Amino acid sequence: MRIIITLIIVALFASTSTPAHAKIKSVGKGDKMNFDPGQIPSDMKTAFEIMKVKCIQCHTQERTVIAIQTGIAPVTGQPFDKQATKAYGIKMLRKPKSNMSRDDVKLVVNLMNYLIDEAAKP
Protein backbone atom coordinates (compact mmCIF):
# COMPACT_ATOMS: atom_id res chain seq x y z
CA MET A 1 0.00 0.00 0.00
CA ARG A 2 2.73 2.40 0.98
CA ILE A 3 4.48 1.88 -2.34
CA ILE A 4 1.26 2.73 -4.20
CA ILE A 5 0.80 5.93 -2.24
CA THR A 6 4.40 6.82 -2.93
CA LEU A 7 3.88 6.18 -6.63
CA ILE A 8 0.78 8.38 -6.68
CA ILE A 9 2.63 11.19 -4.93
CA VAL A 10 5.55 10.87 -7.36
CA ALA A 11 3.14 10.89 -10.34
CA LEU A 12 1.32 13.96 -9.02
CA PHE A 13 4.55 15.77 -8.39
CA ALA A 14 5.86 14.88 -11.84
CA SER A 15 2.74 16.17 -13.56
CA THR A 16 2.60 19.45 -11.65
CA SER A 17 6.30 20.14 -12.09
CA THR A 18 6.13 19.76 -15.87
CA PRO A 19 6.68 23.22 -17.33
CA ALA A 20 3.65 24.89 -18.87
CA HIS A 21 5.58 25.26 -22.10
CA ALA A 22 6.39 21.61 -22.55
CA LYS A 23 5.84 21.63 -26.28
CA ILE A 24 9.34 22.71 -27.17
CA LYS A 25 11.41 19.57 -27.17
CA SER A 26 15.12 19.40 -26.61
CA VAL A 27 17.74 16.82 -27.34
CA GLY A 28 20.84 16.12 -25.26
CA LYS A 29 21.55 17.16 -21.69
CA GLY A 30 23.50 19.91 -19.98
CA ASP A 31 26.21 21.39 -22.19
CA LYS A 32 25.03 19.29 -25.13
CA MET A 33 21.40 20.37 -24.91
CA ASN A 34 19.81 21.78 -28.06
CA PHE A 35 16.40 22.25 -29.60
CA ASP A 36 15.06 19.14 -31.31
CA PRO A 37 15.98 19.70 -34.99
CA GLY A 38 12.77 17.89 -35.94
CA GLN A 39 10.66 20.82 -34.77
CA ILE A 40 12.50 23.42 -36.84
CA PRO A 41 10.58 24.15 -40.07
CA SER A 42 12.56 24.01 -43.31
CA ASP A 43 12.46 27.79 -43.87
CA MET A 44 14.15 28.29 -40.48
CA LYS A 45 16.94 25.75 -40.88
CA THR A 46 19.40 28.50 -41.86
CA ALA A 47 18.56 30.45 -38.70
CA PHE A 48 18.95 27.26 -36.68
CA GLU A 49 22.39 26.63 -38.20
CA ILE A 50 23.45 30.19 -37.35
CA MET A 51 22.15 29.78 -33.81
CA LYS A 52 24.03 26.50 -33.39
CA VAL A 53 27.31 28.19 -34.29
CA LYS A 54 26.98 31.79 -33.06
CA CYS A 55 24.96 31.43 -29.89
CA ILE A 56 27.24 28.87 -28.24
CA GLN A 57 30.42 30.90 -28.41
CA CYS A 58 30.13 32.20 -24.84
CA HIS A 59 27.63 29.84 -23.21
CA THR A 60 25.88 26.63 -24.16
CA GLN A 61 22.60 26.35 -26.03
CA GLU A 62 21.04 25.04 -22.81
CA ARG A 63 20.62 28.67 -21.71
CA THR A 64 18.44 29.52 -24.71
CA VAL A 65 16.51 26.24 -24.57
CA ILE A 66 15.64 26.80 -20.90
CA ALA A 67 14.67 30.44 -21.58
CA ILE A 68 12.20 29.37 -24.27
CA GLN A 69 10.86 26.30 -22.46
CA THR A 70 10.21 28.13 -19.21
CA GLY A 71 9.59 31.70 -20.43
CA ILE A 72 12.20 32.93 -17.93
CA ALA A 73 15.72 34.07 -18.81
CA PRO A 74 17.82 31.74 -16.63
CA VAL A 75 20.59 34.15 -15.60
CA THR A 76 18.66 37.31 -14.72
CA GLY A 77 15.25 35.71 -14.04
CA GLN A 78 13.55 38.23 -16.36
CA PRO A 79 10.62 37.21 -18.60
CA PHE A 80 11.72 35.67 -21.86
CA ASP A 81 8.80 36.31 -24.21
CA LYS A 82 8.31 37.74 -27.69
CA GLN A 83 8.62 41.27 -26.32
CA ALA A 84 12.02 40.39 -24.92
CA THR A 85 13.75 38.32 -27.62
CA LYS A 86 14.88 41.27 -29.73
CA ALA A 87 16.35 43.07 -26.74
CA TYR A 88 18.21 39.91 -25.71
CA GLY A 89 19.46 39.46 -29.26
CA ILE A 90 20.82 43.00 -29.30
CA LYS A 91 22.30 42.56 -25.83
CA MET A 92 24.19 39.46 -27.08
CA LEU A 93 25.25 41.24 -30.28
CA ARG A 94 26.76 44.13 -28.29
CA LYS A 95 28.88 41.92 -26.09
CA PRO A 96 32.61 42.11 -26.82
CA LYS A 97 33.76 39.60 -29.46
CA SER A 98 30.19 38.50 -30.20
CA ASN A 99 31.26 37.67 -33.75
CA MET A 100 27.67 38.05 -34.98
CA SER A 101 26.12 40.34 -37.57
CA ARG A 102 22.80 42.18 -37.20
CA ASP A 103 21.37 39.82 -39.82
CA ASP A 104 22.50 36.76 -37.85
CA VAL A 105 20.75 38.11 -34.78
CA LYS A 106 17.60 39.03 -36.74
CA LEU A 107 17.31 35.46 -38.03
CA VAL A 108 17.87 33.96 -34.59
CA VAL A 109 15.34 36.35 -32.97
CA ASN A 110 12.82 35.33 -35.63
CA LEU A 111 13.47 31.66 -34.85
CA MET A 112 13.14 32.24 -31.09
CA ASN A 113 9.81 34.02 -31.67
CA TYR A 114 8.58 31.08 -33.70
CA LEU A 115 9.57 28.68 -30.91
CA ILE A 116 7.85 30.86 -28.29
CA ASP A 117 4.65 30.74 -30.38
CA GLU A 118 4.96 26.97 -30.60
CA ALA A 119 5.51 26.74 -26.85
CA ALA A 120 2.31 28.70 -26.23
CA LYS A 121 0.13 26.35 -28.28
CA PRO A 122 -2.11 24.15 -26.13
Q: Which residues bind ligand HEC (CB under 6 A)?
A: 54-55, 57-59, 63-64, 67, 73-76, 78, 88-89, 91-92, 95, 97-98, 100, 105, 108
> Least CB distance from residue 9 to ligand HEC, whole Å?
32
CB of 53 to ligand HEC, least distance (A): 9
To ligand HEC, the closest distance from the beta carbon of 50 in angstroms equals 8
Closer to ligand HEC at the Cβ: 23 or 63? Answer: 63
Q: Residue 45: which residues within 8 A CB-CB, separation 6 or more?
A: none
| Closest distance to ligand HEC from the beta carbon of 38 (Å) | 20
Using the minimum distance from each CB to ligand HEC, give the nearer residue, 7 or 58. 58
Residues sharing a CB contact under 8 Å with residue 46, sequence separation 6 or more, in sequence order: 107
CA distance 113 to 57: 21
Spatial CA neighbour of 63 closest among 88, 87, 39: 88
Question: Which is nearer to ligand HEC, 7 or 49 (by Cβ)?
Answer: 49
Measured from the CB atom, is 88 or 114 closer to ligand HEC? 88
Task: Measure the CA–CA gap between 117 and 85, rounded to whole angstroms.
Answer: 12
Q: How far does the chain reach from its first CA to its final CA, in angstroms?
A: 36
